[in-house]
Amino acid sequence: MGIDPSPALLAAWGLPDTPEGLERFSRTVVEAVGDLVAVVKPQSAFFERHGSRGIAVLETVLAELRRRGTVVVLDAKRGDIGSTTAAYADAYLDRSSPLSADAVTVTPYLGFGSLQPMIDKAAEHDAGLFVLARTSNPEGAGVQLAVAADGRTVGGTILDEVAALNRGAAPLGSLGVVLGATLTGLAADVAGLNGPVLAPGVGAQGADPAGLRRTFGTAATVVPSVSRGLLARGPGVADLREGARRLIDECAEALS
């Protein structure tokens, strides 16, 4: 489940678009589902827009989720080169950092090799990465489906690079990919991945649990991600929890 405290959702919950509203929103989500869902995925941008006070709220949320033992994927989509990538790795993957998470989303579109400092840091700290491969936004296809000189698509190259690094790991490698749940026909692409697939788009973007196996097949380990579709049920803790339980059951049935 995502924590996406957008201005629209804060307003729908009757909360101010301030760090105080941000904190109340986030704490409510953690209280509702922190011990229930497989993964909680805070969207860093919605905290960053409030400046240093918003980042402080994010640090508090991450600390509380760590205290509960909840698996946390920080949705930051970082990517750069050299020392900048290494600095991002220190910020999000070093367990001593106040912004550390179990995994972070990263973009490989400065070249897959640019992620090496993050790959190394993840291995050092028993953490993981989710690498953007095929996203659900229509603009992404222009880059991700472009064909390279060897005949593979750019997105396919990313999948192959991740699969190569996961080869031989048991039960799964620590490198996953982001593939939109609204896409279709990806079963053959992820069959040999040997890593988790983070699949955003269930709910508000139009994907549903029943379609997950049609999209990803039976060989993939899929982590469906829902944000607005559940967050719209707030601000009541009981309503959020009931909605999460219902969706967990639907996803379990679809993916079993």
Active site residues: 77
The span from the CA of 108 to the CA of 85, in Å, is 11
The span from the CA of 55 to the CA of 84, in Å, is 19
Residue with tokens 């070249």: 111
Residue 217, exposed/middle/buried by CB under 10 A (0-12, 13-18, 19+)? middle
* CA 125 centroid distance within chain: 18
CA 243-251-25 angle, to 5 degrees, is: 35
Closest CA to 29 of 202, 224, 231: 231
Phi, psi of 227 (to 5 degrees): -125, -85
SS3 of residue 183 by DSSP? coil
